[in-house]
């Protein structure tokens, strides 16, 4: 083969190499341009802002960020005479005058409704009380609530006949009513308000009780009747 001759095979090879070089260069430049000029892709579903639920000096009442929580102001330390009723204005109540003896709130699950005046005293100590309407909650949902409460400090669970919702959570001056035991706000409420030193009159006061004064295995029974004329007003006056 003489100099200057061009065979078809050699020509095709040179053409393919040249095309490959041009394509590779174009891809590289396009990639650089894309990375330099493109905006980052938006996420399909932006996550909701995280709610901080641990109380501190800058966030004394994290429950303000929980939808549905109702609040009210109550004076602490208002004790009834032994056996005296209180004319509570909410059911279940979330504060106010109460019996001198508190209900055991050391992760206690009560199978029957307990005298309200004892339960309210436990709220003053920083407990969270989960009450439920036994006619509106099935056994599986009651078991879910009991699993949250049993053995956990400053928590107590009891039926409370006559509630206008299946589940009602109380801490001192705070209440949240929900429809389901799976509602994530139950755990949020507990985290924000159990033993909260900024919202509880007596944080750290005991939850255990002397069985001679209050026996958690046989607690004083809930009284569904209306309080009589000798009942103490909820504000003590």
pLDDT the model gives residue 17: 57
pLDDT over 80 (residue 15): no
Report pLDDT for 32: 42
Q: What is the pLDDT of residue 164?
A: 95
For 162-166, the CB contacts below 8 A with 24+ separation are 162/91, 162/133, 162/224, 163/91, 163/92, 163/131, 163/132, 163/133, 163/136, 164/91, 165/133, 165/136, 166/132, 166/133, 166/136, 166/137, 166/141
Percentage of residues in the chain having pLDDT higher than 90 = 77
Q: Domains, the chain, ranges and CATH?
A: 68-210 (3.40.30)
137-154 pLDDT per residue, tens: 999 999 999 999 999 999
Q: What is the pLDDT of residue 135?
A: 96
pLDDT at 50: 62
Residue 227: both structure tokens together = 């309080």
For residues 177 and 69, what is the distance between their CA atoms, to the nearest angstrom?
8
pLDDT of 13: 47
In the predicted structure, residue 183 carries a pLDDT above the cut 90:
yes
pLDDT at 27: 41
Is the pLDDT at 187 greater than 70? The verdict is yes
The pLDDT of residue 56: 93
Mean pLDDT across 115-143: 98
Q: Bigger pLDDT: 10 or 116? A: 116
Quick one: pLDDT band at residue 68, thresholds 50, 70, 90?
A: very high
Q: What is the pLDDT of residue 52?
A: 87
Q: What pTM, to 2 d.p., does this model score?
A: 0.79
Structure tokens at 12: 């095709």
Instruction: State yes or no: pLDDT of 1 exceeds 70.
Output: no
């Amino acid at each position: 083969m003489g100099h200057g001759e061009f065979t078809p095979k050699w020509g095709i090879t040179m053409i393919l190499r040249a095309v490959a070089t041009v394509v590779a260069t174009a891809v590289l430049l396009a990639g650089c341009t894309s990375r330099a000029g493109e905006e980052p892709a938006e996420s399909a579903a932006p996550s909701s802002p995280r709610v901080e639920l641990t109380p501190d000096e800058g966030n004394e009442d994290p429950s303000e960020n929980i939808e549905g929580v109702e609040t009210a102001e109550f004076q602490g330390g208002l004790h009834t005479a032994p056996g005296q009723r209180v004319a509570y204005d909410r059911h279940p109540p979330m504060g106010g005058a109460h019996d001198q003896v508190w209900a055991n709130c050391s992760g206690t699950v009560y199978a029957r409704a307990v005298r309200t005046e004892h339960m309210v005293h436990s709220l003053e100590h920083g407990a969270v009380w989960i009450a439920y309407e036994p006619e509106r909650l099935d056994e599986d949902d009651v078991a879910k609530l009991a699993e949250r409460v049993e053995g956990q400090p400053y928590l107590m669970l009891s039926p409370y006949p006559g509630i206008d919702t299946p589940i009602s959570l109380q801490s001192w001056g705070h209440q949240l009513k929900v429809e389901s035991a799976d509602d994530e706000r139950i755990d949020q409420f507990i985290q924000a308000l159990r033993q909260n030193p900024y919202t509880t009159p007596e944080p750290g006061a005991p939850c255990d009780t002397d069985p001679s004064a209050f026996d958690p295995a046989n607690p004083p029974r809930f009284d569904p009747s209306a309080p009589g004329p000798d009942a103490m007003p909820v504000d003590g006056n």
